[in-house]
Chains A and B, each alone.
Chain A
Amino acid sequence: MIGIADVVIGLSLGSRLFLIAVGLSLIFGVLGVLNFAHGGFYMLGAYVTLAVISNVIDNFWIAAVVGALAVGVVGAAIEFSAIRRLYDRVDSDLDQLIVTFGFVLVIHETVRFIWGSGSYSIDPPDVFNFSVSLGGSTFNAYRLVAIGLAVAVLVGLWLFITRTYFGSLVRGTSSDREMAAMLGVDVPRLYTGVFFLGSVLAGLGGALSAPLQATSPALGDQVIITAFIVVVIGGFGSISGAFVGAMLIGMMQSLGPQFISSGSIAIPFLAMVIVLLLRPEGLFGGIGE
Chain B
Amino acid sequence: MSATGIGGRVSQFGSAVAEGWTRERFGLIGAVALVLITFGPPFQVYLFTDFLVVALFALGFNLLYGYTGLLSFGHGLFYAGGAYGIAIVLRDLGPIIADIVGAGISPLVTFVVGGVVGLVLVVVVAVPVGWLSVRLEEIYFALITLAFGMLGYSLIIQDPAGLTNGTDGVIVLLGTVDLGGTSIRIGGRRLYYVISAVTVVAATYGVWRVVNSPFGTVCKAIRESPDRAGALGINVRHHRWMTFIISAAIVGIAGVLRAGLASVASPGLTHWSTSAIAVIATVIGGATYFYGPIVGAFIFLYIRWAISRFPTLEAYWELFFGVLLIAVVLFFKQGAVGGLYLLRDRLFGEGDIGGANGGGGGAFDAGSQVTTPPDEEAKSSNGDVRTDRGDNS
Contacts and interface: CB of A to CB of B under 8 A. Distances in A.
A93 B139 contact: yes
A281 to B, nearest CB: 10
Interface string B297-339: 0000000000000000001101101111110011001000000
A269 B150 CA distance: 7
Contact of A105 (B136, B158, B159, B322): B322
Contacts of A221: 273
When A and B form their complex, which 6 residue pairs have the shortest distance between CB atoms, in order from nearest?
A: A90-B390, A105-B322, A109-B319, A266-B154, A102-B326, A102-B325
Contacts of B198: none
B228 to A, nearest CB: 13
A94 B154 CA distance: 26
What is the predominant secondary structure among interface residues of chain A facing chain B? helix
Interface of A: 34, 82, 85-86, 89-95, 97-99, 101-106, 108-110, 112-113, 117, 221, 225, 228-229, 232, 262-266, 269-270, 272-273, 276-277, 280
A101 B322 CA distance: 8
Nearest to B389: A90
Nearest to B316: A109
Interface residues of B, number: 44
Contacts of A108: 318, 322
Interface of B: 69, 71, 132, 135-136, 138-140, 142-144, 146-148, 150-151, 154-155, 157-160, 272-273, 276, 279, 283, 315-316, 318-319, 321-326, 329-330, 333, 389-391, 393
A265 to B, nearest CB: 4
Given A95-B329, A112-B315, A276-B143, A263 B322 contact: no
A231 to B, nearest CB: 9
A93 B390 CA distance: 12
24 contacts: A34-B139, A89-B390, A91-B138, A91-B389, A98-B283, A98-B325, A101-B276, A101-B279, A102-B329, A105-B322, A106-B326, A109-B319, A109-B322, A110-B319, A225-B150, A228-B147, A262-B158, A264-B158, A272-B147, A273-B148, A276-B136, A276-B144, A276-B147, A280-B140
A266 B158 contact: yes
Contacts of B158: 262-266
A110 B315 CA distance: 11
Contacts of A104: 322
Given A97-B139, A106-B322, A263-B154, 9 more contacts: A89-B390, A91-B390, A92-B390, A94-B71, A99-B326, A105-B325, A106-B319, A113-B316, A264-B158
